Each structure stands twice: as structure tokens, then as C-alpha cells.
Amino acid sequence: MKALGEDELALAFLAGRVSNLNASLAAIERDGADQLEEAARYLKRYIDVFRENLHEIVTQFSTIFLERPHTDGTQTGSVPIVRAHSHLLGEVAHHVIELLISVLNFTLPHISDPSALNTLLSQLSYCGSAFARIGLDFRSMLPTIFEQAVIAGVTKTLEQGSNTFSQRLKQRQKSHKLPALWLVVPEQASNPPMAPRPEAGPVNHLPPTLLSSYPPIAVLANVYITALNQIRLLAPANILSRLYGLFCTSIAESSLALLAYSKEVVASEKTKPRRTSIDGEDEQNRAVLAGAGLALLRALSPFVLSGLVHGVYARPLEEWTPPNIEAVTALQEIEKNWEAWLDGLGLLNHGAVAEAPGGEPAAPSEV
């Protein structure tokens, strides 16, 4: 049997080690760590296998093929050979790291637990730091990947919350259930609280007490608080403006859905047959609609946006300028549309009560 040359041995060594790495990674899935259903567990094990195998590939290959004793020119071809082997090792290491990055890009967006994302980032950072000693520091590639993962997680949470809110409005519209019977707590239905215009002042990290008077708005508030808590554990500085836009978009969509529902309720008053009912029923429902809309735009919206900027990112609000993006403009337009509609009904400054029953702050988990 013909002996292999040194180049062939080097290639065979790397091919064998990469094949062993692929087999080890495939074994993770066979052992029950599903890439999507248990994404965090899968990635943790994937990173461990990646770290152990790539470190062994580099160190063993370097010891066998690259660490040559210095001679006085007795091996004239050794320098070109070493350079070729170094290039070959670099190509393989680059390929293995690209595999990791590809898996991270695909799997991280499926992880909804922010603490798991934070743990994985720490694991990868330690791994990259260790690899820096052998010239394979990949930590500079991580920020963009984890920024996208955070954005994906927040987007999913906000979209689910907005969709649930919109579906609830459609169901109530279809069933013709009056706003006073579901949009406000019963004890506040006769005199629904109205949120005043937000004013500059100390930042309150507790949800406005007024929100507890409007259960559907309070449920929506919990969605936003959940999203803020997702970001709190892993808050990349570069994506603050994008996150601000996501929250503005979600608030605008929910506000628009509530405005459309409110207009439909008011329009239906003219088409209903004359009925015997308590006097002022239509006015009561209009007041509830006005209170809910103002609670969303004047109480919930400022609380959420200031919670993101000041609560999560610790930016002084007086130094913060909202980004000049379409989402911010859209929210401002919705606010104007709400106020114009309420003003046309004579409800913009209706009522003066601005506290929930009891006057006590509602805890975030109970909003």
C-alpha cells in the first residue's frame, strides 16, 4: 500500500475530525434535543460539542503538522508546506464557525425565554474568549445575531398581544355586547375614569392605576410589561430605536382597532330599533369608549414607552428624542384621529375621575 504524503495526511486528518464533529452534532438530535421545541437545550449542547471538537482539531493539527523544529535550511520545502497546512486549517476552522453561526441564526429566534438567551450569550462569549488564544475569536459576530433574536422575541410577544386584543374587539362587535358590559369594570360603568393628558414629571415604574378600570386595556398592558421584561435581561444598545418602533407599531395597531370598534358602536346606535331601556345608555357607552381610548393612548402608551427608554435602557427622558421613523409618526396620527373623533362627539374632556377603585397602584403582574 502506498504511503500517504504529508499533504494527504493533513487533509485526511481534518476530514476525519470534521466527520466526527458532524456525527457528534447529529447525535444531539437523536438524543432528544429538538432544534425548535427545545431550542435553548439544543444550542447549549451544540455549543459544548462545537467548543470541544474545534479546540481539539486546532490544537492537535497544530501539534502534528505545524510545530516544526527550526533548522538551518535542511528542509527547504518546510516553510511552504507549513503555510499550506496553516491555510488548510484556517479554512476548516472558518467552515466550522460558519456552521455554528448558521445554527444560531436559525435557532435563536425560536427561544422565547430571555434568561436562556442571556445564558447562551455568556456561554458563547466564554467560548470565544478561550478560542482567542488560538486565533479563533468569533465574539465580534455575536452582537448582530443576538440583537435579531431579541427583536424576534419582542415582535412575537407584541404581535400575539395585539392580535388577541383585536380578536376580542371583533368578537364583542359580532355579539353586539355593549361596551359598558365588558370594556369597563361594573362599578365604574356609570362614570368611567378619563385619563388626563400626560405631563412631564417623575417616571413611575408602576402601571397607571386607571388601567385596572378597563380590563381589556389592562390585559394589553400585561403584554407590554412582558415584552419589557424580555428586553430587561438582554438589552442591546444598538436596537433601542428599533424596539421603540415595534412598541409604537403595536400600540398604534391596538388603538386603531379600538377606534374602528368604537366608531362601529356609535354608528349602530342610529340603526337600532326603538327599545325600552334606561335613559342615557348610548351616552354611557360612548363615555366608556372614550375612557378606554384615552386610557390606551394617554396612560398606557406613555407608561410603556418611558418604561422602555428609561426603565430598561436608563436613558433620561428629557434627553431622549424619539426616532424619526414611520411607526412613531403612525402612532401620533392615531392619537390625533382619536382626539378628533372624541372632540366631534363632545367627549374629549368628559369626566374628571382618573383613579382606579381604591386608588391603590396595581402590581405589574396583576394589571
244/319 same-domain check: yes
**74-128 residue pLDDT tens:** 444 466 777 888 888 989 999 999 999 999 999 999 898 889 999 999 999 999 9
329-361 pLDDT per residue, tens: 999 999 999 999 999 999 886 544 444 444 443
143 domain residue, yes or no? no
In a domain, 215, yes or no: yes
Which of 96, 112, 137 corresponds to the end of one domain?
Answer: 137
Q: Is the dihedral of CA 280, 281, 282, 286 positive or negative?
A: positive
* Co-location of 156 and 121 in the same domain: no
CA atoms 182, 185, 187, 188: torsion sign: negative
Specify whether the CB–CB gap between 21 and 61 falls below 8 A. no
Tell which wins on pLDDT, 261 or 70.
261
Residue 33: predicted pLDDT: 55
Structural domain span for residue 229: 149-269+279-366
Task: Mark whether 106 and 154 lie in a shared domain.
Answer: no
274 DSSP 8-state letter? P
Q: How far apart are CA 352 and CA 194, in angstroms?
A: 6
Per-residue CA distances from 208 to 180, 211, 213, 298, 308 (Å): 21, 6, 10, 10, 15
**254 belongs to a structural domain:** yes
The answer to whether position 154 is within a domain reads yes
Domain final residue, candidates 96, 114, 137: 137
pLDDT (0 to 100) of residue 269? 82
Task: Note whether 130 and 153 are same-domain residues.
Answer: no
Q: Is residue 274 part of a domain?
A: no
Residues 85 and 125 in one domain: yes
Give the chain's domain count: 2
- What's 4's DSSP letter? P
Q: Which three cell numbers stand for residue 142?
A: 455575536
Q: How far apart are CA 300 and CA 218, in angstroms?
A: 9
Residue 126 pLDDT: 96
Q: Are 338 and 195 in contact (CB under 8 A)?
A: no
Of 137, 160, 179, which residue sits at a domain end?
137
Instruction: Kindly state the average pLDDT of the residues 214-243.
Output: 96
180 with 104, same domain? no
* Spatial distance between the Cα atoms of 84 and 78, rounded to a whole number of angstroms: 10
Q: What is the pLDDT of residues 25-76, one digit of tens each?
A: 888 876 655 666 688 989 999 999 999 999 999 999 988 888 765 444 444 4
Q: Are 258 and 190 in the same domain?
A: yes
Residue 362 in any domain: the answer is yes
Residues 243 and 347 in one domain: yes
339 and 190 assigned to the same domain: yes
Contact status, residue 295 vs residue 217, Cβ threshold 8 Å = yes
Q: Is residue 144 part of a domain?
A: no
Under a CB-based contact definition with an 8 Å cutoff, are residues 161 and 143 in contact?
no
Same domain, 180 and 247: yes
Per-position DSSP letters for 165-208, written without gaps between them: HHHHHHHHHHHT--GGGTTS-GGGTTS---PPPP-S-PPP-SPP
Residues 304 and 218 in one domain: yes
Please check whether residue 264 lies inside any domain of the structure: yes
Give the predicted TM-score (pTM) of the model: 0.85
Residues 94 and 188 reside in one and the same domain: no
Closest CA to 304 of 324, 338, 331: 331
With CA atoms as reference, report the closest residue to 153 among 257, 242, 42: 242
| Whole-number Å distance between alpha carbons of 13 and 137 | 23
C-alpha to C-alpha distance for 285 and 263, rounded to whole angstroms: 12
Among 165, 167, 161, which Cα is nearest to 223's? 161
Q: Hey, what's the cell of 133?
A: 488564544
